[in-house]
Structure 1
């Protein structure tokens, strides 16, 4: 095992064993390297690596702390990975989204209270009869964000949120190029909300899958038209 990897593993074990807890400040570099039996260079590289994935929080002039270790913080690294994917890789992320969002919708149907579900209908009403594509996409993202949070599972909600930004461009491009995209999106959102309002979690789940699958199907068809190349324009 490389010395840096060994340092990472030892710090991880300190966290798992309760020696370091969320919010704790790490011992000074000289003290910690001596305690772990590692060079300061190896320890420094390990701290950098763990800071990149938000396990540690390096505060200049203050010290290094264990992060909150909450799912939303830890999964920021997933967002970075998704952000740098090519357009043709978006299809794989859409496949994952098609697995996750229906499950979150089913869970949210049983866990959100009546006021929260009614607020979803109010959110859709805010768009008016002729929304712009940007307004539609922003509303779409907020609609799905609320449902993901409503699932009551912070890990699931964070995973879904990590896909939201990178898929934004695909949603905008679909709205600009597919004539029925606006009407279809709103109709499907209404169907999801109405199924949730009547607590039919299986129906809400089915509509959520249809909704996400529609975006995936559109992107596949556009990609095929472009010979498999990424179909989306640059930002």
Structure 2
């Protein structure tokens, strides 16, 4: 079991046993991590995952609370997961994104100037190895949006922006449920950047296709497990 999954299970067990009742506040992150024998990073990821499915409510500057756990609230989260697993249209969106974004990446490799390469490099370098998944996805969106703009086709960039807005939740969910998301994403982004810096259109296109198809494979596998 992944460390984050273990953290999720331990928090859920506290709720099931009544140690954390609906509406109650979780102990401070440091205290809870030590009590459960977990790292603070694993604890943060677990809390984020449980926030996504409406089990926890993170109130900035106040603390983290167990939600009311009312059926209506939890059903909203269940419908989100069902959408990821059962909606064929989401896979179709990713397939279109893969085709268009890999093409845009190839065009960017043709057109990118030294300053453009430096900006992309700075974007990757600014992401810390221990960053949280939400921040990682925000970086992912910025990185690919910058490449789309470098392609020099405003209509293509606009199409990709529209597709991206429909895939963010799936990308967050993948990051929360799959180990090594930060390292994998940064390594793949670095490979894309290297191809762009070398003005290698074919290589940049191929790497982008592989990079984007990764979430398609994850989504298909996730559907097979439910």
Q: TM-score category by the smaller chain?
A: 0.5 to 0.7
The alignment covers a number of residue pairs equal to: 141
SS of 1:130's partner is coil
> 2:179 — aligned with what?
179
SS of 1:199's partner is coil
Aligned mates of 2:181, 2:134 — CA distance in 1: 13
* Superposition deviation, residue 103 in structure 1: 0.3
Are the aligned partners of 2:129 and 2:183 in contact in 1 as well (CA < 8 Å)? no
Matched, 1:107 2:114: no
Matched, 1:152 2:152: yes
> 2:126 — aligned with what?
126
Aligned mates of 1:184, 1:104 — CA distance in 2: 21
- Gap runs ≥5 in structure 2: 1-82
> 2:76 — aligned with what?
none
* Superposition deviation, residue 112 in structure 1: 2.0
Deviations along 1:9-38, one digit per CA (max 9) or x if unpaired, are xxxxxxxxxxxxxxxxxxxxxxxxxxxxxx
Aligned mates of 2:135, 2:214 — CA distance in 1: 19
> 2:203 — aligned with what?
203
Aligned mates of 1:129, 1:170 — CA distance in 2: 21
Aligned mates of 2:126, 2:217 — CA distance in 1: 28
Aligned mates of 2:98, 2:112 — CA distance in 1: 21
Are the aligned partners of 2:148 and 2:157 in contact in 1 as well (CA < 8 Å)? yes
Are the aligned partners of 1:94 and 1:216 in contact in 2 as well (CA < 8 Å)? yes
Deviations along 1:132-169, one digit per CA (max 9) or x if unpaired, are 10110000000000000110011111111001111100
TM-score scaled by length of structure 2:
0.61
Are the aligned partners of 1:118 and 1:197 in contact in 2 as well (CA < 8 Å)? no
> 1:165 — aligned with what?
165
Are the aligned partners of 1:101 and 1:160 in contact in 2 as well (CA < 8 Å)? yes
- Gap runs ≥5 in structure 1: 1-85, 227-235
Q: Which has the larger radius of gyration?
A: 1
Aligned mates of 2:172, 2:216 — CA distance in 1: 14
Deviations along 1:67-122, one digit per CA (max 9) or x if unpaired, are xxxxxxxxxxxxxxxxxxx5412101001011111100000111121101111011
TM-score scaled by length of structure 1:
0.58
* Superposition deviation, residue 201 in structure 1: 1.3
> 2:213 — aligned with what?
213
Across the aligned residues of Structure 1 and Structure 2, the Cα RMSD in angstroms comes to 1.0
Aligned mates of 2:117, 2:160 — CA distance in 1: 19
